[in-house]
Structure 1
Amino acid sequence: MKNYELKNLAKDRLEGRYGGAIRVLCLSYLISWLTRLVINNVAGNTMASVYSMTSSRNAAIAVSVFFNGLLLLATVILGVMNAGITLYFLNLASGQQPVVKDLFYGFRNDSKKALGISAALTLCHAVCLWPSQYLFQHFLEAQEARWIMYALIALAIGLCVYVPISLGISLSFYLMLDFPQNSGKETLKLCWRLMRGNRKRLFLLELGFLPLLLLCLLSFGIGFLWLEPYMHMTYTCFFLDMMNPKN
C-alpha cells in the first residue's frame, strides 16, 4: 500500500476510538515522566549534598554518572510498555477489543524478551546520539564556539548511524507479538531481515508526519493528543501491510 493509503486506513481504524488510544498513550507518558522526574530530582539533590560535603567536583561527577546509568536503566524498563502499546494498536487495527491493561502486557508476558528488545532500541539511541548531547551541554557550560561545531559534527555522524539501524529494528515489538516462539535476539534479526527494502518506505512515511508535527507545536502541544494515536496506528497498518502484501 502507498503511504497515503496507510494513513487513510489508520484514520478509518481510529474513527470513534481515539479516546481509548489517547488514554493509553497519556498513561504511558505520565508513568515515564514521573519516573524520570523522581530520578532527576534525587540526582540533583544528591549531587548538591555530595559537593557541599566534599567540595570535590570529581565526586559530584561520579554521582552524576551513577544517576545517568540509573536513568538509562529506567528507560530500558519503561520501554517495555511499548510492547503493550503495540498490542493495543494491533487489537484496534484488527477489530479486537483493546483494553488499558494491554499497556502492561510486556511486564506480565515475555518480560525478558521485551526487556531485551527495549535495551537494543535504547542503547542504539544512547550510543548514537548521546555524544552530541554531551558536547552540546559542554558548549552551554563553556560558551566556546568550537564545542557547538563538535556537537553538530557528532550529531550528523550519529544520525547517519542511528537512522538506518533504528529503522531496521523499529518494528521488533510487533514481531515479538506475531512470533512469540522466537527469542529476543531472533526477533531483532527477523525484523532486520524483513525491513530490507522497507526501510526507505518507513522513513518516507515518518517524514510525511513532519507538517503535522509542526502544526501540533503551533497548537502548544494539544494536537499531539490526536497525532500520536494516528502515528501509532499508521505504523501498525504499515506492519500489517508488510506482513500481508497484496500480491
Structure 2
Amino acid sequence: MSRSRKYWKRYAKDSLNGNWGVSMAGMLAVAAVSFIGSIMSVELFPGNTIFSLALGQIFSFIFSLIAIVFRTGYNYMLLNEARGKEFSLGNILYLFHNQPDRVLIAGFVVSILDMIAQIPFYYVVYMTDQGSTLEQQVAWVQMTMAMFVLSLVLNVIFTVPFVLTFYLLTDDPEMGGMEALKTSARLMKGNILKYWLMMLSFVPLLILSVFTMYIGLLWLLPYMYMTETAFYMDIMGEFNEESAGPQTEETEFCNYDDYNSEA
C-alpha cells in the first residue's frame, strides 16, 4: 500500500536534515555538467544555419548522456542518504565504474523520446517565420507557446513511465538498461498520476524561488529530488517494512504515522 505525497515530502525533509550541504553540492555538480555541455555546444557550433544547429543538437545529445551518468550517481547518493547508509559527494561518480553502459543505453532511449516530444516546439522556433507585422509576431508567439505546451504534454506521456529507470540501475548492478526501462514502465502503471501530483505540489515553491533570484532552488531542488527518491522507495515496498526510514543510532528521525498529517 503506497503512502501519500505528504508522507514522501516529510520523509525527504527528515532524510535531508543535517545533510543539506552535501545534497546541494551534488545537485550543483550535476547541474554544472549540463551547463558546461550547453556552453560548449554554443561555442563549438555557432551560427543559425541548419548545419550548425544540427551539429549543436548532436553534441548536446551526446553530452547529455554523460550528464545522465552523473545524475544517476546523484540518485545513488540520495538513496544511500534516505536509507541511512554511508554516503558522500563521490557517490555521483559511482556509475562510471559500475557498468555505465547500462545507464547510457537507458539514457539514449529516454533522450530520444525527449527529443521526439520537443519536435513541435523546435519546428516552430527554428523553421517558421516570425513575420514582419505586429499581428504576425503575436500569432507566432501564440503558436510557439501552444507548441511548447504540446511538447511538454508529449514529454510527460513519453518519459514519465521511465522515471524510476535510473534508480533501478543503481539498486541492481546486474540489471540492463532495457530491462530497467521495462521494469520502470511496469512499476509506474497506476502511479503516473500520483507522481505528477507530487511534482505539481512543488510549483508554488518554484514560483516563490523567482523572488529569491532563484537562490531558493539550492534548497528546493534537493528537496524535490529526495521526494522523488522517497516515491521510488515506496513503490519498491520499502515503507511496508516496520523498520523503513532513515535512522540514527539512537532513534528514528520521526514517527511515520504522523506523516499524513504534515505537509
Residue in structure 1 matched with residue 144 of structure 2 by the alignment: 151
TM-score calculated relative to the size of structure 1:
0.87
CA contact (8 A) 1:168 1:195 kept: yes
2:118 aligns to what?
Answer: 129
Distance 1:205 1:228 in 2: 14
Structure 2 CA distance for aligned equivalents of residues 197 and 29 of structure 1: 31
Partner residue in 2 for 1:16: 18
Question: Matches of residues 53-92 of structure 1 in structure 2 within 5 Å?
Answer: 60-92=49-81
- Give the TM-score, by structure 2 length: 0.82
Query: Whole-Å Cα distance in 2 between the matches of residues 88 and 140 of structure 1?
Result: 46
Q: Distance in 1 between matches of 2:81 and 2:227?
A: 12
Paired with 1:203 and 1:6, the residues of 2 have a C-alpha distance of: 13
- Identity between Structure 1 and Structure 2 (%): 26
**1:193 matched to 2:186:** yes
Comparing both chains, which one has the higher relative contact order based on Cα–Cα distances under 8 Å and sequence gaps of 6 or more? 2
Q: Which residue of structure 1 aligns with residue 240 of structure 2? A: 246
For residues 206 and 193 of structure 1, the distance between their equivalents in structure 2, rounded to whole angstroms, comes to: 20
What SS does the aligned partner of 1:79 have?
A: helix
Structure 1 stretches (4+) deviating beyond 4 angstroms? 137-143
Q: Which runs of 5+ in 2 are unaligned?
A: 242-263
CA shift, 1:26, in A, is 0.9
Other-structure match for 1:37: 39
User: Shift of the alpha carbon at 1:153?
Assistant: 4.2
Query: C-alpha separation between the residues in 2 aligned to 1:152 and 1:23?
Result: 34
Following superposition, the deviation at residue 216 of structure 1 comes to: 0.8
Superposed CA RMSD in Å reads: 2.1
Provide the C-alpha distance between the structure 1 equivalents of 2:41 and 2:147, rounded to a whole number of angstroms: 27
Q: Unaligned regions of 5+ residues in structure 1, if any?
A: 48-56
Q: SS where residue 227 of structure 1 aligns?
A: helix
Q: How many residues align?
A: 234
Structure 1: how far apart are the matches of 2:17 and 2:114? 33
1:141 positional shift: 5.2
Q: Give 1:124 deviation, angstroms.
A: 1.7
Q: Per residue, is there more helix in 1 or in 2?
A: 1
Moved more, 204-213 or 180-189: 180-189
Partner residue, 1:173: 166
> Any conservation in 2 of the 1:84–1:102 contact (CA below 8 Å)?
yes
Q: Tell me the CA shift for residue 149 of structure 1.
A: 4.5
